[in-house]
Each structure stands twice: as C-alpha cells, then as structure tokens.
Chain A
Amino acid sequence: PANMKLIFIFSALIGASLCLETFVGHQVLRIKTKNEEEVKQLQLLESLEHLELDFWINPSAPALPVDVRIPAVSVQSVKAFLESQGIEYSILIEDLQDVLDKERQEMAESAQRQRSSSFDFGAYHTLDDINNELDYLASEYSFVEKIQIGESYEKRPLYVLKFSTGGSNRPAIWLDAGIHSREWVTQASALWIANKIASDYGTDDSITSLLDKMDLFLLPVANPDGFVYTHTSNRMWRKTRSKIPGSVCVGVDPNRNWDAGFGGPGASNKPCSDSYHGPSANSEVEVKSVVDFIKNHGNFKAFLTLHSYSQLLMYPYGYKCTRPDDYAELESLGRAAASSIRSLYGTTFQVGTICKTIYQASGGSIDWSYDNGIKYSFAFELRDTGRYGFLLPANQILPAAKETWLGLKKIMEHVRDKSS
C-alpha cells in the first residue's frame, strides 16, 4: 500500500539529513488535493519529521492548496511519491536559495540607495555609519574601491578609499583625516570630500583630469579606536588607545610617533601626556600601517593630512626650525591654496612651516613623508580659531569641507601638473 511505500522511500533518507545552513536546491511545491484521501496522504507525509518538510500551507481540506518546502535531497523522492499517487502539484519555487540571494541583494541595494540619498554630510556620524558610507561609495562608483591597509590596536579595520580610473600603480596622492580623534570636523570633511570627488568625476574638468592621471588614496578615520572613544567615553580624546607597558595611562599621540626627529622637542616622553610620542617610532599600528602602505606602493607624490583647529596650512618641518629645500615652491603653493580657501567664505588660513607657525613638534607625519621623498607634504588645521575649537557646530561642517576642498584641489592640481 501507499503508506508502506512512503515509509520505505523516505526512511532511506533518514541517514542523509543535512545541516540546513542554506536552501540551495530546496524547492517549494504547490500541491492540489482532489479528495480527503489525498489530504490524509499529505498529513502522513507531514508527520515524517526526519524529512524536514516545511509546510507553508498545511494540508487541511481538499479545496485548499498545500504549499511545502522540500530539502534538496528529498525533492525527487517526494515528487516520485506524489506522481505515483496521482496527486497533482506544481513548482512554486525552483531553487529557494536563488530567490533568497536575489532578495538579499535587492534589500542591500535599496538600503544603499536610501543611505546615499539620506547620508547627511552636514552632521557628525559614528564610525559604523562612516564605514557604511564608504561601502556605499565603493559600490556606487566603479573607480572607487575600499581597501583595508591594516588594523588598529583594538583590531578595527583601517579602511582607505582608493580612487583609480586605471593604469598600473599610477603616481598617487595620499589624504588622511582624524589621526587625532577629537578633531571631528576632519573625519566629517573627509567623507564629504570623498563623495565630492566620486560624484564629480566625469563632469568636473579638474577632478576628471586629476583622476585620469593619478590615483588618490583617502583614509577618513586614521585613528578609529580614538574616534570610538570620543563617542563613547571622552569627547576630548586625542591619542590612540594602546596600552603602555608600565603605565596606567593609555595611548600615544599618533602625530608624534612618526620616524622624523622622533623623540625630539615638542613631544613628551610621559605616557600620560596628550603629546606622548610613544615607546618608539612607528610603535603605533595606526602609524605603521600607513608607513608600510606608502613605502610598498612606492609612487606617492603628495601626502596631505587634516587636523583641527586653528586655520593653518603648513608644510615641513616641525621637528627642526630650518626651512625645507623646497621652501619656495611649498610656500608659494601653500599661499595659493590658502587663497582658494579664502575665496569661498573669507576664511583665512595662515601659511608657513610647522615650526614657525605653531611650534617645534617632532615625530610628525608630513615631516616623515617629506624626508621620504614625498615633496608635496602639507598639514591643514581646519576651522575654527578657538571659539568652538574641537566642538565645531555641525552646521559648519559643510562650509569647512567645501573651503578645505578648494585648498586641497589647488595643491592636487599642481601635483598633477608636475607629475606628468
């Protein structure tokens, strides 16, 4: 009888139970029962738990369809059984995993579309939100790629956006923000700038000619551990969050940790200090990751870094108070960039070497990059001049980003012209 046949066929499958992580090959059948007898057959089927049949509509009355999801391994057997009993069925879903994959992709695309049109560049965001927006930009633009150059002390990924329209290891420009985590306007500006460059490629002559010749690497959150800490614990945190052997204090000033006059004047050897240079040059993984990346790439022409506050546009040196060899060109380019910045809202940036403009400070990033052959090394200090300081109101993010971008663009255009 049919029952015996049923039990025989399906008991053979007891040993072949799969771990249902995915639904590859699963089919959903719609079964049309003609009478009570057929309903009872299906209810018997339902009772065989080892088959792991998943009834979306359970067998109850002849007039109602029965929808059932069947694991891949059982599909042929169930169909054979239904056919042998003369029970009509049709295939609702050929392969359930396909449907799920497509659905997930659509949801992700929809979410990304919503995110891009709703990402507020004029507001401060959490690290997660920023990383999501980086994903969006990378997915939306074919010439934008999100790469990971390392991990922070607390194992957060260091994400860099690579803008490249082709070529092979083209001459490149480096731009980073947020190395000092409390300088929130810098991470926020970096995001706006990333979006600006991505969306204006192809329409803006300057950006288009720049990316047609050079690659751009943008690290919007150079100190993610510190950044998270400014959100969760202490808005005024500046340093990394590394544990220092022998001290209760945490963190190293990442802009005193580069191998440029390391340990010299303008950096502290006290772990509790906000300008602590660290136990040794490149001791901070956040710094070492960038150093290694740039050295391995080997073809960077410019190194630009964003800080706040004070409205300054500076070039090397900080660790010594002598002028760099390229003083004349850097001073002239700096002034041109400051002039571009001022053209938008009248914001004045002071131009000069680090040492003369603010103070002697050793172990800084642009001194390292300059001494390693990257001529166009500039450090920006964005708005304001002290009224709000680190707590720059969000309504100044867009003006700050826009004016800063004009300065960066001026420098990048010069680098592009000199690199071709």
Chain B
Amino acid sequence: MADKLNAQKSVKIAAGAVVCVESEIRGDVTIGTRTVVHPKARIIAEAGPIVIGEGNLIEEQALIINSYPENITPDSEVEPKTMTIGTNNVFEVGCADVGRNVILTSGCIIGAFCQVNTCEVIPENTVIYGSGCMRRVQTERPQPQTLQLDFLMKILPNYHHLKKTIKASHTT
C-alpha cells in the first residue's frame, strides 16, 4: 500500500506548456504541450494520477482534483484511477472538475464557477455554463482557441515565472 501511495509523485510538464509558478500542482500530474495553466489554478491528484492533454486552457481559481470518493477513507485500499482530460478544453475561472469518474474528451468548455461532480463521460464539444444548474450546449465545431493560446503563451512568461518539469525523484 505504501508503494501505491508513494509511486511517482511527480509533475511532468511537456516542453511547450506554460505553467505558472503560482499555480498549485500536487501529486502525479502530466501536462501536455501547448497547455496553459494560469496562476492560482489548482490541480490536485490525491487519489490517482491526472493526465492533461494538449492545448488546454486552465484559468485562475480553477480546480481539477482527483479526490477520493466520499464514503471511503483514505487509508483503506483504493484503486488509483487516472483522470483524463483531453485536448483543447477550457476550464474557466473558478470552475471545479472534481471526481475520479469524470472523463473529459476534447473541445469542452467548462464555464466559470461550474462544478462538474458527476460520474460521466462528457462528450466532445460540450459547453457547460450557467449558474446553479448545469446546462450543456453542443457546438458544431471546436472552439478556435489557438489565437488565445498563442497570445497567452507569449504574454504570461513576461509577467510570471514558469514551472519546468520536475524530474521524478521517488522510486520505491
């Protein structure tokens, strides 16, 4: 059990990603290239690794957490389940993507302050917006985020320090 808990607590950041130092990344997280993580975003992999794909945009105060299910205490045996976040997703300010069973595919936009606590696969090109209730709109094409990503990748390094890949240091 100790092996499982201590295995690979590293953050792997690919070469083209822009991850600000002020963001909080804990646990086993892999971040793909061309992903931008704003300061004060939180990616917490408690109960398993999180794999974030390419071209994602994670804004301030967003929370992506792979947490333990509620009724199981952390000490007991829990299968570490990987949380996958696909490509070209946008996590707007203050949203929370909580849970081990949410699988985000590509092109999704989780609007500001929306909580995604469900156990489901969110289909492609979904937009979740609105206060209170979760509402979804299927758009017909993925969002043209390239402009915004390029802009941010140029501007953010001017004002923030960036995190580089931490070499994997524990092996048990």
User: Do A and B assemble together?
Assistant: no
